[in-house]
Amino acid sequence: MQGHTPRRRFGQNFLADPHYVRRIVDAVNPQPGEALVEIGPGLGALTAELIARAGHLYAIEIDRDLAARLRERFSETRLTLFEDDALRFDFTRLSAELSTPLRIIGNLPYNISSPLLFHLAHNIASLRDLHVMLQKEVVARMAAKPSTPDYGRLSVMLQAKFAITRLFIVPPGAFSPAPKVDSAVARLTPLGERAPQLADESLFARLVAAAFAQRRKILRNALAAHCAPDDLRAAGIDPQARGENLAVDDFVRLANRLARDG
Ligand code: SAM
């Protein structure tokens, strides 16, 4: 660990197995000239390999001690380091400054994985793709299909914006310190023109949250504060169904109908 005591509050489990470092960077396939942004470079396992292949990297690290070590190890011409909180980082601004969409890479701190994915989804117009490593269960939820146990708010909110591919599992032994759970690497690619058009994004988000707030509730009850059973029927949705039974397109249709009807 080269003298660094891992900080649990920053979700620090460092990748220590070169085999998985290579597999992740192979999956990214970074090229010189691309705007590559690593979230949480930590001790630099992925950072070094990304720089070796692409020549230059942007990175966002919240831990001051690690940021200082990274500055010592990598020159400014190779690594542009933002000592910042990725949850508040303005990805849209960086992309605008560089006049190119960003490629995001990260062995993400597991304690903030969902809010970070939502923050990235909010900046989607500035992203080319994401390669992220997360707890295996979180990746299963991201990629889950309707009427399966893993399908929920995270699945709908992300699948409305991204095509999501599970790439491979990374076992606890690949990290130091080893986490208690398996991890998985996922690729998220913005749907672009294939993305469903949302008349009111925040209404869509509120409906999805309400539909899954209590999984076992049928929709006529779960969405009672938002719409009547007739609104559900008019959108082609059975009021007796549960949120977990609706496809992403069903949520989109309902939200757009309610937005249209005011
Ligand atoms: N990328 C390194 C690796 O693969 O070994 C470290 C991964 S470790 C799971 C997560 C990293 O994200 C740590 O370096 C941690 O300090 C950093 N981090 C945690 N919260 C962060 C935040 N809000 N913004 C930026 N970096 C953060």
Q: What share of the chain is helix, strand, coil (3-state, %, to 5)?
A: 45, 20, 35
Name the residue with tokens 């930590």. Answer: 42
Q: Which residues pair with 149 in a beta bridge?
A: none
Q: Whose CA is nearest to atom 8 of ligand 1?
A: 12
Name the residue with tokens 């011409």. Answer: 77
Atom of ligand 1 nearest to the CA of 38: 1
Ligand 1 geometric centre to CA of 12 (Å): 6
To test the pocket of ligand 1, the residue of 81, 87, 107, 132 to mutate (highest count of ligand atoms within 8 Å of its CB) is: 107
Strand 57-61, strand 36-39: pairing: parallel
Helices (H), 99-235: 113-122, 136-143, 153-159, 201-213, 219-222, 229-234
> Each residue of 14-50: b (16+ CB within 10 Å) or e?
bbbeeebbeebbeebebeeebbbbbbbbbbbbbbbbb
Residue 116's pLDDT is 96
Q: Which residues pair with 166 in a beta bridge?
A: 186
Ligand 1 geometric centre to CA of 106 (Å): 8
Residue 233 CB coordination number (10 Å): 12
Domain ranges for the chain, please list them: 8-194, 201-261
Architecture of domain 201-261: Orthogonal Bundle (1.10)
Tell me how far apart the alpha carbons of residues 253 and 255 are, in angstroms, rounded to a whole number: 6
* Superfamily of chain region 8-194: Vaccinia Virus protein VP39 (3.40.50.150)
Ligand 1 geometric centre to CA of 159 (Å): 25
Tell me how far apart the alpha carbons of residues 221 and 240 are, in angstroms, rounded to a whole number: 9
Q: How far is CA 199 from the centre of its chain?
A: 23
Residue 89 tokens read as 């980082």
Residues 6+ apart with CB under 8 A from 106: 38, 39, 40, 86, 130, 131, 132, 133
Residues with CB under 6 A from ligand 1: 10-15, 39-43, 45-46, 60-63, 66, 85-87, 107, 109, 112
- Start-to-end Cα distance in the chain: 57
Low-confidence ranges of the chain (pLDDT < 50): none
The answer to whether 80 and 51 are in contact (CB under 8 A) is no
Ligand 1 geometric centre to CA of 115 (Å): 14
Strand 183-190, strand 127-135: pairing: antiparallel
